[in-house]
Amino acid sequence: MNNKKLITAWSFYDWANSVYNLVITATIFPIYYNAVTIIKDEHGREVSNVLNFLGIELKNTALYDYALASAFLLVAIIVPVLSGIADFGGHKKRFMKFFAYLGSLSCLLMFFFTKDTLGLGILFAITACMGYSGSLVFYNAYLPVISSPEKQDRVSAKGFAMGYIGSSILLILNLLLIQYHEWFGIHDRGLATRISFLTVGIWWIGFAQIPFYYLPASSVRRKFDKRYLFKGYQELLKVFRELRHQPRLTRFLMAFFAYSMGLQTVVLVATHFGATEIKMEAGQLIITILIIQFLAVAGAYIFSYLSKKQGNVFTLKIATLFWAAICIGTYLFVYTPEHFYVVAACVGLVMGGTQALSRSTYSKMLPQAQEHSSYFSFYDVTEKMSIVMGMLSFGIFNQLSPDMRQPTLIVIAFFIAGFLLLFRVKGSAVSK
């Protein structure tokens, strides 16, 4: 525990898989998806953004919202099974590898997504999301294994910072590939964009070999038993029952569920909002995401420092209030790319800190146990279900609204609810 080499190796998984979050979720894939799903006339003018998918007419952005919600719902259903097996059979690292390979392979296969293969694009978006989210369950479960409670805020922040830096490097390289594709002998920008999906898969699985090599296997070794297939749900139910005796942890999870609905929705729909509502060009959207990425590194450490001085819960209250203010400002005042850049800077400062601090706060509150996969499974199921609810709510409002500005109101409500619920978590400082 607290071995610097092991902590660095662990944080390299953030470096490895965060390229999915940035390139696939936040920037290049949404821009490409928007380009290939909008119907234009012979003069290049937009005619319609309504798609017929499986016999149902949906806005292209709403379809994307529903696809991601479906992916997170599937993860929430299957991960408890796997985490239970991991706890009882000692296969935590094995399942982390499985999901990492699933996600990276899905990114590689996105290369085949074109105007004529919408179904493939949606399918691989779902499986890539499942791979990313599923692997994080087992990755997060290593945090209390490699770090003592008093160091977990900084270790968690280091992981997120590594992810922001690594993903930004690959994004910049991909931007060069797409913007100056002819330098590389590629005469079609669409092909260059699809090649960038290949680089995500290669980067992800390549750098993941570092944590796969150094992270320890579980100390628990049992032979596989079919009964373990139900152990995950049994363990999840056991954690749920134990929460009755841990009121502070229960209240934190309720607050986390609420503000996570808002946070994850903002991250997942920001690019579509900029493209459809503000009519930002691809280059402007990329600049926006880069602003978020680089400021998120600083934000992760700023919030870690603030939590050390004022406590985790107090710092999360400040973060959720800041998130609500950002969304209110976006709804009322953001109408130009310049406005959006200011919002991006604010989001960057608070995003990394909120995510890193949420993970470490939960880790500190856990009861002493030999294995933590089931508890982190519960945490991840809570997060995934918050994303499902957030994206479904936003998708429904998006489908019914004439634009994407009105659904922003529901996101504001999520953050305000999270802020108020944090007052029920007793004590401003979190310690063991």
Question: Mean per-residue pLDDT for 286-300?
Answer: 80
What is the number of alpha carbons within 13 Å of residue 301 lying toward its C-beta?
8
pLDDT at 428: 44
pLDDT at 16: 94
**CA triple 361-85-15, angle to 5 deg:** 50
Where is pLDDT greater, at 149 or 6? 6
pLDDT at 260: 93
Pairwise CA distance, residues 370 & 231, whole Å: 16
Q: Does residue 205 register a pLDDT over 50?
A: yes
Where is pLDDT greater, at 213 or 352? 213
Pairwise CA distance, residues 35 & 40, whole Å: 10
Q: Does residue 116 register a pLDDT over 90?
A: no
Q: Does residue 431 register a pLDDT over 50?
A: no
Nearest to 328 by CA among 266, 397, 403, 258: 266
Question: Mean per-residue pLDDT for 354-375?
Answer: 75
Q: Does residue 220 register a pLDDT over 70?
A: no
For residue 252, CA distances in Å to 109, 248, 257, 305, 366 come to 39, 6, 9, 20, 11
Please, which pLDDT band fits residue 26 given cuts at 50, 70 and 90?
confident
Token pair of 253, please?
């999870």
Question: DSSP 3-state assignment of 432?
Answer: coil
Q: At what angle do helices 92-109 and 189-214 cross, to 10 degrees?
A: 170
Q: Does residue 322 register a pLDDT over 90?
A: yes
Q: At what angle do helices 282-310 and 28-37 cross, to 10 degrees?
A: 140
DSSP calls for 9-75: HHHHHHHHHHHIIIIIIISHHHHHHHHHHSEE-TTS-EEE-EEEETTEEEEHHHHHHHHHHHHHHHH
Q: What percent of the chain has pLDDT over 70?
A: 89
Pairwise CA distance, residues 126 & 107, whole Å: 10
Where is pLDDT greater, at 61 or 11? 11
Look at domain 4-216+226-422 and name its CATH class.
Answer: mainly alpha
DSSP calls for 279-312: ---HHHHHHHHHHHHHHHHHHHHHHHHHHHHH-H
Contact 176, 24 (CB under 8 A): no
DSSP-assigned letter for residue 182: G
Question: Mean per-residue pLDDT for 208-225?
Answer: 76
Classify strands 50-53 and 39-40 as parallel, antiparallel or unpaired: unpaired
| Most confident by average pLDDT, 67-81, 85-99, 234-248, 412-426 | 412-426
DSSP-assigned letter for residue 369: -
**CA triple 176-181-183, angle to 5 deg:** 90
Token pair of 373, please?
């996969």
Contact 68, 129 (CB under 8 A): yes
